[in-house]
Amino acid sequence: MPSPIVTATLFGLKGDNLKLLTQNSKMKKAKIKTFDFAIPAWSSEATGIKTCPGADWNKCGKICYARDGRYRMKSTQNAMEARLAITQKVDFVDIMSSEINEKLKRNPKGFNLRMHSSGDFYHRVYLLKWTALAIKYPMVTFYAYTKMVPFFRGHTLPPNMTVVFSYGGKFDNQITYGDRHAKVFPSVYALRKAGYTDASVNDTVAANPKIRRLGLVYHGRYYRSKVKPTLGLD
């Protein structure tokens, strides 16, 4: 089985340049140390794997923030493809455990780990791997936005793992008001007026299971367009 370094090399990266866990600007603002694991949004160009199988092209795919801007850089795309390849390995849990162990050396009290600033749970087996990691590391809070609502019906999550159902997918009609969920609003004022908590600026909100209704304000490439998304993006 190729190591992460070999996998990275296959995607044109120097092995030691592949970071499994990274931080974006939103996470750097989080009150609690937060890391992110990103795979290709919508689908993998290298393998054709549909990485967001619950997404609806017209609602979120064509205006996806994670297929725009810095995400289009070749180095970023290669890193996301390499991470996706690593998730498919039978020893993904061991590989990710090594990375988490490294982060715990500097953050011994734990940290937040966002599964996917881009991409989603593309297969039930993949969800099980993250669930195993959450059980193994109770001091780490694992969180994700997801459109794969059916995967979570009947699937018990450990207390340190939480997901937010994100409107804008094929399974919107399965999201109930009582579920943790996220919607996109035209402004912070509008989301607050509707009784939602602003999750646009600080990612700590998404990691807190007590916050049930999250509002996001869209700032992607359609921001100044007359065509505004009306449903959720994660």
Binding residues (CB under 6 A) for ligand SF4: these are 41-42, 52, 55, 60-61, 64, 66, 118-120, 147, 233-234
Q: Minimum CB separation from ligand SF4 for residue 233, in Å?
A: 4
175 vs 179: CA distance, rounded Å: 6
Residue among 61 and 209 whose Cβ is closer to ligand SF4? 61
Q: Minimum CB separation from ligand SF4 for residue 55, in Å?
A: 4
Sign of CA dihedral 36, 118, 201, 176: negative
Q: What angle do CA 60, 114, 205 make, to 5 degrees?
A: 85
In this structure, how many other beta carbons lie within 10 angstroms of the beta carbon of residue 147? 26
Residue among 4 and 119 whose Cβ is closer to ligand SF4? 119
Residue among 137 and 166 whose Cβ is closer to ligand SF4? 166
Residue among 51 and 131 whose Cβ is closer to ligand SF4? 51
Residue among 114 and 147 whose Cβ is closer to ligand SF4? 147
Is 86 within 8 Å of 21 (Cβ atoms)? no
β strands within 6-140, DSSP E: 34-37, 112-115
Residue among 103 and 206 whose Cβ is closer to ligand SF4? 206
Q: Minimum CB separation from ligand SF4 for residue 98, in Å?
A: 26
Q: Minimum CB separation from ligand SF4 for residue 201, in Å?
A: 18
Q: Minimum CB separation from ligand SF4 for residue 147, in Å?
A: 5
Q: Which of 232, 215, 174 is nearest to 56 (CA)?
A: 232
62 vs 163: CA distance, rounded Å: 23
Q: Minimum CB separation from ligand SF4 for residue 114, in Å?
A: 12
Is 21 within 8 Å of 99 (Cβ atoms)? yes
Is 135 within 8 Å of 107 (Cβ atoms)? no
Q: What are phi and psi of 83, to 5 degrees?
A: -65, -40
Q: Minimum CB separation from ligand SF4 for residue 5, in Å?
A: 27
What is the dihedral angle through the alpha carbons of 81, 82, 88, 91, rounded to the nearest 10 degrees? -160
Residue among 60 and 86 whose Cβ is closer to ligand SF4? 60
